[in-house]
Amino acid sequence: MKNFVIALALGAIVAFAQADKVVASINGKPVTAKDLEEFSKGLPAQFQQFYQQDKEGFLKQYAVLMKFSKLAEDAKVDQAAPYKQRLEFTRLQILSQAYVEDYRNKIVVADPELAAFYDKNKDNYTQAKLQVILVNYSATPAKEGEKPKLAEADAQKKAEGLVKQIRGGADFKKIVAESSDDAASKAKGGDFGTIRRSDQIPDELKKAIFALKAGEVSDPVKQPNGFYIFKVAEYTAQPMEEVKPIKQLRTQPTPKSRIQHSSARPRQHRPPSPNHLFRATAPGTPGQA
């Protein structure tokens, strides 16, 4: 069976020279490079990426799926339980999600509303330019020829000592050069880049960072790989045009007649949700339509 599947896929491959050139014949129907590209555009991001990186590999998988789906239809598997019900349920899910997505894509909020929303939630778009020192620790001793590894307690003691030095007036960059175990930031004098409140980082790190004033240094913050010491070089606000939800609202295609005009606050547009169809109903209570 395995060899049969591979033969089907390999036999379908021809070439990807031109958009209108037939690259495969599957189930007796020609498939052009353009057909395959258009098909890939409607798929989830990881499959679109697969197509771009390996068009022939994508074609092999597509050919196998097409061949076996045809065999299933010929055997009327799609009409037999439980496959018939599963196919219908998948269809209902996709259609429901498509409707909600289409509904959202037809909503545009006017710039005055976006500006009001941005100003009201400006704290969420605060970003900190960071410098960092890392003191690693390990439960396993260093191998021969490796740099000695600190135990957790020793690493914590060292990190606390570094904080004391910095708060006492020691140059942060000098301490970075002498003591930090984070090679990437060490090469840049401790510069770690910018962290936003909305970034997906551990809560304890976010809490420690945004509790600091500009120029202040944190206590050591324990993580699985070591103790981090943070210094906030400066705080800035993420520009409104870079805020992802605002960018999305600005770029969504919508007829002009649907555009909402300015108001005291952004309107909350809520698309209908298909999830209410699956709410559980307790025995003996009226059913919900």
pLDDT interval class at 18 (50, 70, 90):
low
**CA nearest 222: which of 152, 165, 173?**
152
Domain that holds residue 170: 122-240
Instruction: Indicate if the pLDDT at residue 240 is higher than 70.
Output: yes
Do 60 and 167 fall within a single domain?
Answer: no
Instruction: Indicate if the pLDDT at residue 286 is higher than 50.
Output: no
Q: Examine residue 271 and state whether it is found in any structural domain, yes or no.
A: no
Task: For 184-201, write each residue's pLDDT tens digit.
Answer: 899 999 998 888 887 888
Domain boundary residue, one of 75, 95, 110: 75
Structure tokens at 112: 């005055």
Instruction: Indicate if the pLDDT at residue 257 is higher than 80.
Output: no
Q: Return the CATH number at 184.
A: 3.10.50.40
Structure tokens at 161: 């000592």
Q: Examine residue 224 and state whether it is found in any structural domain, yes or no.
A: yes
Task: For 90-117, write each residue's pLDDT tens digit.
Answer: 999 999 988 888 887 776 655 777 777 7
pLDDT of residue 278: 39
Q: Examine residue 221 and state whether it is found in any structural domain, yes or no.
A: yes
State in Å, rounded, how far the first CA of the chain is from the last one.
47
Mean pLDDT of all residues in the chain?
77
Instruction: Indicate if the pLDDT at residue 243 is higher than 80.
Output: no
β-partners of residue 284 are: none
Flag whether the pTM goes above 0.75: no
Output the CA–CA distances (angstroms, integers) from residue 133 to 147, 187, 224, 225, 233, in the order listed: 17, 12, 15, 13, 13
Q: Examine residue 99 and state whether it is found in any structural domain, yes or no.
A: no
Task: For 42-66, write each residue's pLDDT tens digit.
Answer: 888 888 888 888 888 888 888 888 8
Do 207 and 144 fall within a single domain?
Answer: yes
pLDDT of residue 112: 74
Share of the chain above pLDDT 90, in %: 34
Do 64 and 148 fall within a single domain?
Answer: no
Q: Examine residue 6 and state whether it is found in any structural domain, yes or no.
A: yes
pLDDT of residue 222: 93
Do 66 and 174 fall within a single domain?
Answer: no
Range scoring the smallest mean pLDDT among 44-48, 79-83, 230-234, 242-246? 242-246
Total domains in the chain come to 2
Q: Stretch 128-136: mean pLDDT, rounded? A: 94
Instruction: Indicate if the pLDDT at residue 261 is higher than 50.
Output: no
Do 127 and 68 fall within a single domain?
Answer: no
Q: Stretch 223-228: mean pLDDT, rounded? A: 91
Q: Examine residue 138 and state whether it is found in any structural domain, yes or no.
A: yes
Do 126 and 65 fall within a single domain?
Answer: no
Domain boundary residue, one of 199, 223, 240: 240
Q: Examine residue 231 and state whether it is found in any structural domain, yes or no.
A: yes
Do 71 and 127 fall within a single domain?
Answer: no
Instruction: Indicate if the pLDDT at residue 217 is higher than 50.
Output: yes
pLDDT of residue 13: 45
Q: Distance between CA atoms of 25 and 6, rounded to whole angstroms?
A: 15
The pairing of strands 126-136 and 29-32 is unpaired
Domain boundary residue, one of 45, 75, 105: 75
pLDDT interval class at 279 (50, 70, 90):
very low
pLDDT of residue 15: 55
Do 128 and 232 fall within a single domain?
Answer: yes
Q: Examine residue 134 and state whether it is found in any structural domain, yes or no.
A: yes
Q: Stretch 3-16: mean pLDDT, rounded? A: 44
Do 156 and 223 fall within a single domain?
Answer: yes
pLDDT of residue 109: 54
Q: Stretch 223-248: mean pLDDT, rounded? A: 80
